Structures are given as structure tokens and as C-alpha cells.
Amino acid sequence: MKSINKIFGGIKIPWRILLPFSVLIGAYTGFILSVPAFQNTSFQDIGIGFEWWIFFAMLIITNSETPEESAIKTFIFFLISQPIVFLVQPNGIELFQRYYFNWFIYTLFTFPMAWIGWYTRKGKVFSPVILSFVLAYLTGHFISYIKLHHIFSAIFCFVLFVTLIFGVMNNRRLRMIAAILGLVFGFSVCIITYVS
């Protein structure tokens, strides 16, 4: 338990680590997406789903000392990594021109989301509510990956779901609230999407 708490709140991520980390993650993702053998497998889900990016964002958010630092560092991480994902691929310029604008909009939203996300570690009644939106995403992704038979990605979503609950929330009641809300929101969205 202590090691999980240390990951989400007990390490320092200075700029000299964050900046090259952003470049490396972007380059790795673009490379993986370029390998034909990995198509339609769990390996390429890092460039398709949100689960890994949720993990990276929560690492930055929970290890920031202020909401301002959380917002700025998370925003910069995505601002650097996302273009690189496209540009390192063989047809990178074309992909960048076609798809990056939408990802840039997502990147802009990381600033307020990371600012708000910083409060998940405050142990207040709203903390598990904030975290539940992240958990809902993971729940939805888990269900999608099970349907696609992307077992490794499904396992990662499950492990990250549990890890965030125990690593970010600091008592049993808050953990239960976060887990229940995350599951309810996640399953509700999946049911609504399936029905419609």
C-alpha cells in the first residue's frame, strides 16, 4: 500500500524529467502505432485508448505541489507528446494535418482537468467524485477491450482502476464512494451507448 501511495503523491517530477519523458512517450507511442504486427492488439491501444494517458496524467497531477503546477505540467506533457505521436510515424505529416487538431482540443482541456484533478488527494467529499470520472473512463475502456479480446489492455484498465482507488484516496469510505460512482458512471455510459 505504501508503494502505491508513493507513486501517486510521493515522488518528484521536475521539468528536467518531465520534458524528456514527454518526448520519449510520444515517440514510443508513434513507433508502436507504426508496427504492422501490432495492429488490432493491446500493444497499439496506447495510441487509441485513454488508459495509459490517464496513468501518465495522474502521475503528474498527484505528484504536483499545487493545482497550478498540476495544470501546467500536465498540459505541457500532452502538448509535447501528442504531436510527436503523429510525426514519428512514416506518414507523420499527413496524419498530423488530418488528426492533430482534434487532439489539440483535447490537450487544451487537460489544463482545467488537471487543475481540478489535483484535488483528488485532498480527502474531501468531492475528491472521490472527481476521481470517479477517471474511473468511469477506465470502466468503459475495460468493457470495450473485453469485447475486442484485448486482454492485456483490459487487465491494465482493471489494475489501474484499483491502483488509483488505493493510491489516491486515503480512507475506506472515500475509496468505496469513488469505486461505486466510477462503476455506475462507466456502466451507464456503456448501456446508453449500446441501447442508442
Report, as an integer, the average pLDDT of 16-26.
98
**Mean local confidence (pLDDT), 42-64:** 96
Query: What percent of the chain stands above pLDDT 70?
Result: 98
Q: What is the pLDDT of residues 141-176, one digit of tens each?
A: 999 999 999 999 999 999 999 999 999 998 999 999
* Predicted confidence (pLDDT) at residue 58 exceeds the cutoff of 70: yes
Whether the Cβ atoms of residue 85 and residue 29 lie closer than 8 Å to each other = yes
Nearest to 169 by CA among 154, 181, 185, 152: 181
Q: Is the pTM of this model over 0.85?
A: yes
At 33, which amino acid appears?
L
Confidence of residue 4 (pLDDT cuts 50, 70, 90): confident
- Rounded CA-CA distance 52/138 in Å is 10
**pLDDT bracket for residue 84 (50, 70, 90):** very high
| 45 burial level (CB within 10 Å; 0-12, 13-18, 19+) | buried
- pLDDT score for 106: 93
Q: Which residue has the higher pLDDT, 64 or 195?
A: 64
Q: How many CA atoms lie within 13 A of 92 on its CB side?
A: 16
Backbone angles phi, psi at 49, to 5 degrees: -90, -175
pLDDT reported for residue 196: 60
> Quick count: other Cβ atoms within 10 Å of Cβ 72?
17
pLDDT of 43: 93
